[in-house]
Amino acid sequence: MKREHMGNAAEEALMQKAAIERMKNFLAGRHPSYYITTLGCQMNAHDSEKLAGILEEMGFVLSEQEEAADLVVYNTCCVRENAELKVYGRLGYLKSYKKKNPNMKIALCGCMMQEPHVIEKLKKSYRWVDLIFGTHNLYRFAELLESVYETPGQLIDIWDAPGEIVEDLPSIRKTSFKASVNIMFGCNNFCTYCIVPYVRGRERSREPEEIIKEIQCLAASGVKEIQLLGQNVNSYGKTLQNPISFAQLLYKVSEVEGIERIRFMTSHPKDLSPELIDAMKNCPKVCPHFHLPLQSGSDRLLKEMNRHYDKAKYLDIVRRLREAVPEMAITTDIIVGFPGETREDFLETVDVVRKAGFDNAFTFIYSKREGTPAARMENQVDPEEAKTNFEELLVVLKEVMDQRNERLVGKTLQVLVEDVNNHDASMLTGRSEGNYLVHFKGGSELIGQTVPVKIDEQLTYYLVGTL
């Protein structure tokens, strides 16, 4: 279902704020509780911050336990099958909770909801879910929730195309000193294994003036670190009436007073320009960390994946990044078991891992996604073979990461302190400029501050140091 657009983003924002006010009056004095579970990428996490902000503006309060909440929201991911199976599993539990508390409302949103076969399954087998909406109309959450409370029954509102870009809505951030900012939405790349372009839509960039205004407001509220988000930030600005490059945007963000660190996710190697490398070299606020998804080191598979680069080009980008910024930390994504992958293909990936010297990697066994070209490929890899290669890759990655981390032992890193360590209350946890996770002893009064930490020990996935 899709109602007509009102017009511009400002009008849409006003409409949602009016719905928030109506819900605030409707819930006055009740303070119902909410619980949000977020699956998937950092863009989903940022979307959940908006959902939480809208709910708290209405008068909802955060619940410590899902089963005790009056409203349960699942912000879903469809990139891998495990994420979808988790949602279906949790819905079974929620049915029993709802029997005990008939007033409980259950809402599903996010990428998984943009898949037609998922909606059909939810209609048929999960009638106790109250609200189902997708990625294109997330900003209308207040209006949709209002309808759910007014009218009993299941409300499904899925759009097949994006509406306006509406960002001027409440948001609840995990920390007061770090924030994410969407600079673009959607993806035009259509990698053959990936469902994202089908559920997030085609690329749309926000106007640079809107982005800078949002960052200025965040800086005024005490935010020190900004993360710019997009499915492929390297292609930012191409869809604007007055095109601007991502590198040019970085220079503009660097001029915002109060912002000390700038990060971004995610980049596609095919669109990485010399101008961007220069910007990383010339903008001290831009952190020396680059997430550069590889996916495979095999030229043949890269072509099958529709990635538009080869092994040699990828390694050349790594070389140029580290020549420009010697301390650059490079992280990546790697898929094992893509259809047709042979032992030789896999060893090409291992070769890139060794030559690139990654500082960290997100590794995945290929997950077949309905609706993608790769799902229709006949030469699907045997799961046991993929698992064996995957485990071998992890061993190689640990060896490479240990070598990279050893060079940091004895050095002093600037660490933005994020929280008290989960396992030891006498320790603090933070991130270095290169995005290394660092643990060290210190008091909670340091949270939100950037402090020098001498690295004493490396343990592959994190560093231990002394203030």
- Structure-token pair, residue 325: 């910024």
Residue that terminates a domain, selected from 406, 421, 455: 406
132 and 84 co-located in one domain: yes
- Which pLDDT does position 3 carry in this prediction? 43
Question: Does residue 288 belong to any structural domain of this protein?
Answer: yes
- The amino acid at 159: W
Residue 37 confidence (pLDDT) above 90? yes
Q: Are 104 and 110 in contact (CB under 8 A)?
A: no
304 and 367 co-located in one domain: yes
| pTM over cut 0.75 | yes
56 and 146 co-located in one domain: yes
Check residues 200 and 406 and name the one with the higher pLDDT: 406
As a whole number, mean pLDDT of residues 426-445 equals: 97
Residue that terminates a domain, selected from 98, 128, 157: 157
434 and 343 co-located in one domain: no
Long-range contacts at 52-57 (CB < 8 A, ≥ 24 apart): 52/171, 52/172, 53/169, 53/170, 53/171, 53/172, 54/16, 54/20, 54/141, 54/142, 54/169, 54/170, 56/170, 56/172, 57/20, 57/24, 57/170
Q: Is 93 exposed, middle or buried (0-12, 13-18, 19+ CB in 10 A)?
A: exposed
- Which pLDDT does position 190 carry in this prediction? 93
Q: Are 37 and 86 in contact (CB under 8 A)?
A: no
402 and 416 co-located in one domain: no
Residue that terminates a domain, selected from 126, 157, 188: 157
Residue 165 confidence (pLDDT) above 80? no
Residue 2 confidence (pLDDT) above 80? no
Residue 407: phi and psi, rounded to 5, are -70, -15
Residue 214 confidence (pLDDT) above 90? yes
Query: What average pLDDT does the structure give for the chain?
Result: 93
Q: Which residue has the tokens 């898929």?
A: 335
Question: Does residue 254 belong to any structural domain of this protein?
Answer: yes
Helix (H) or strand (E) holding 33: strand 33-38
- The amino acid at 302: L
Question: Does residue 173 belong to any structural domain of this protein?
Answer: no
Question: Does residue 260 belong to any structural domain of this protein?
Answer: yes
- Which pLDDT does position 7 carry in this prediction? 56
80-84, 146-150, 270-274, 379-383: least confident range:
80-84
- Which pLDDT does position 8 carry in this prediction? 78
394 and 423 co-located in one domain: no
Listed in sequence order, the residues at least 6 apart from 448 whose beta carbon sits closer than 8 Å to its beta carbon are 175, 176, 177, 222, 224, 416, 417
Q: Could you read off the pLDDT of 105-148 as tens digits, one per residue?
A: 999 999 999 999 999 999 999 999 999 999 989 999 999 999 99
Question: Does residue 3 belong to any structural domain of this protein?
Answer: no
- Which pLDDT does position 80 carry in this prediction? 84
328 and 344 co-located in one domain: yes
| CATH code for the domain of 240 | 3.80.30.20
As a whole number, mean pLDDT of residues 290-313 equals: 98
Residue 235 confidence (pLDDT) above 60? yes
397 and 300 co-located in one domain: yes
- Structure-token pair, residue 302: 């890269």
Domain of 402 in residue numbering reads as: 178-406
Listed in sequence order, the residues at least 6 apart from 28 whose beta carbon sits closer than 8 Å to its beta carbon are 59
Question: Does residue 44 belong to any structural domain of this protein?
Answer: yes
Q: Could you read off the pLDDT of 316-359 as tens digits, one per residue?
A: 999 999 999 999 999 999 999 999 999 999 999 999 999 999 99
- Which pLDDT does position 170 carry in this prediction? 77
Residue 11 confidence (pLDDT) above 50? yes
Q: Could you read off the pLDDT of 269-300 as tens digits, one per residue?
A: 999 999 999 999 999 999 999 999 999 999 99
- Which pLDDT does position 173 carry in this prediction? 83
How are beta strands 155-157 and 178-182 bridged, if at all?
Answer: unpaired
> How much of the chain exceeds pLDDT 90, in percent?
83
234 and 294 co-located in one domain: yes
Listed in sequence order, the residues at least 6 apart from 333 whose beta carbon sits closer than 8 Å to its beta carbon are 291, 293, 294, 295, 361, 362, 363, 364
Question: Does residue 226 belong to any structural domain of this protein?
Answer: yes
56 and 83 co-located in one domain: yes
3-state class (DSSP) for residue 129 = coil
137 and 241 co-located in one domain: no
| CATH code for the domain of 417 | 2.40.50
Question: Does residue 241 belong to any structural domain of this protein?
Answer: yes
Measured in whole angstroms, the distance separating CA 94 from the mean position of its chain's CA atoms is 26
Q: Are 393 and 349 in contact (CB under 8 A)?
A: yes
3-state class (DSSP) for residue 182 = strand
Q: Is 362 exposed, middle or buried (0-12, 13-18, 19+ CB in 10 A)?
A: exposed
As a whole number, mean pLDDT of residues 51-57 equals: 95
Q: Are 237 and 244 in contact (CB under 8 A)?
A: yes
Q: How many CB atoms lie within 10 A of CB 304?
A: 22
Q: How many domains, in total, are found in the chain?
A: 3
248 and 391 co-located in one domain: yes
Of residues 259, 234, 232, 256, the one with CA closest to residue 247:
234
Listed in sequence order, the residues at least 6 apart from 228 whose beta carbon sits closer than 8 Å to its beta carbon are 180, 181, 183, 211, 249, 253, 262, 263, 264, 265
